[in-house]
Homo-oligomer: A and B are copies of this chain.
Amino acid sequence: MTVPDTMLQMQSTVHADGRLELGLVEVPVPRPAADEVLVRVEAAPINPSDLGVMFGTADLTAVAASEGALPGAVAPIPEKLRAPMAAREGQPIPVGNEGAGVVVAAGDAPAAQELVGRTVAMLGGAMYAQYRCVRVSDCLVLNEGTTPVEGASCFVNPLTALGMTETMRLEGHVGLVHTAAASNLGQMLNRICLADGIPLVNIVRRDSQAQLLRDQGAAHVCNAADADFRDRLTDALEATGATLAFDAIGGGELASTILSCMERAALRTSTGYNRYGSDVHKQVYVYGGLDRGPTIVRRDFGMAWGMGGWLLPPFLQRVGPEVAGRMRQRVADELGTTFRSHYSREVSLREAVSPEQIAIYAKQATGEKYLVRPQA
């Protein structure tokens, strides 16, 4: 296979003047070391975790095309939001956490040579590019017949969803609650829970999302926009015994409401009055920030509660390589079923940095998930 000398790569840069730039850059195609392979990237999803690196705290209501020779976009970073971005100043960051493609060149090691022509999935950044060089040990070799598009989202969503069920077991809970539950990740979690017999309470914000999940077999779906949401949620929590929630939203009162309804459900089955509330431990992990506003915690749920951040890499460290390996293997085996992803649109690298497309995909609306096709 012929490999060019240079390629296009998407980079995000914070400039000293307070602008953030997301643009294409021509860089040399890397050469694989002995234990590495060069992958022609065919497909890479835009996950919410990618958006954080791509745009940081920039004001996305003011995106404009950049004026360089190659396509790109710029957006201002509001003055008061610059501090957290200061460490990035002047350092271009290649973006794209995960992707899949075909091995087109390999180092001398036999394990590397064996992969030539195979389709592999990769995690590790810089995936919004025409080529990516990775170590053999970092490749997930896809089963014969699996396409790069099918294998593009092997890591972030699948491992996060599996991590939620593993966390549930580790921390002694018997059921789960999930917000923004109609997302790709949410649908995946629903399939895992159905397969594994884990009671799951899905929280959505629209009837169409509730219907979508019910059509996929979800037993408990609560619409936060319903007038009787709290009562329905309490019923579902009582029925499932779920005392652990994963919240993708972060801002507002939803996390607090979940804890409050968990407490109401716990008190329904307890007797007598306890001034400190039930002794049932109720936990919410905030793993996303669809609403960047403050979390409002009403503390009307006794004293046995916890809230905290949840992130995949420290979780994988916590459980160790054996559990992580088992999770990864399950993803490879069930890629066409449990862990399948759906994309609303496929875009080229050039389209991905256009202000028009950014305006759509950066909203992170449920159902608007993009797949970057670097060869398009």
Contacts and interface: CB of A to CB of B under 8 A. Distances in A.
Q: Chain A: interface residue count, which band?
A: 35 or more
A304 B314 contact: yes
B304 A309 contact: yes
* Centre residue among A251, A275, A310 by max chain B CB count within 10 A: A275
A6 interface: no
A300 B306 CA distance: 18
A53 interface: yes
Interface stretch (A30-38, A84-92, A179-187, A341-349): A84-92
Contact of A303 (B56, B272, B307, B310): B310
A52 B274 CA distance: 11
Looking at chain A's contact residues, is the secondary structure mostly helix, strand, loop, or mixed? mixed
A310 B299 CA distance: 12
A87 B272 contact: yes
Interface string A276-298: 10010000001001001011111
Nearest to A304: B309
Contacts of A302: 309
A297 B299 contact: no
A109 interface: no
Interface in A196-248: none
B308 A273 contact: no
Contacts of A323: none
A295 B286 contact: no
Given A294-B296, A299-B289, A299-B294, A276 B311 contact: yes
A250 interface: yes
Contacts of A294: 256, 296-299
A299 B294 CA distance: 7
A58 B211 CA distance: 44
B310 A307 contact: no
A56 B276 CA distance: 11
Contacts of A305: 308-309
A311 B304 contact: yes
A272 B256 CA distance: 34
A305 B287 CA distance: 11
B87 A299 contact: no
* Centre residue among A52, A272, A295 by max chain B CB count within 10 A: A295
Contacts of A300: 84
A53 B306 contact: no
Given A250-B299, A294-B296, A308 B310 contact: no
Contacts of A307: 297, 306-308
A253 to B, nearest CB: 8
Contacts of A88: 273
A179 to B, nearest CB: 15
A289 B277 CA distance: 14
Nearest to A84: B300
Contacts of A296: 294-297
Interface of A: 52-53, 56, 84, 87-88, 91, 250-251, 256, 272-273, 275-276, 279, 286, 289, 292, 294-300, 302-311, 314
23 contacts: A52-B276, A53-B275, A56-B275, A84-B300, A87-B273, A88-B273, A91-B273, A250-B299, A292-B299, A294-B298, A295-B296, A295-B297, A295-B299, A297-B297, A297-B307, A302-B309, A303-B309, A304-B309, A305-B308, A305-B309, A306-B307, A306-B308, A307-B308
Given A289-B299, A304-B309, 7 more contacts: A295-B299, A302-B309, A303-B310, A303-B311, A304-B314, A306-B307, A307-B307
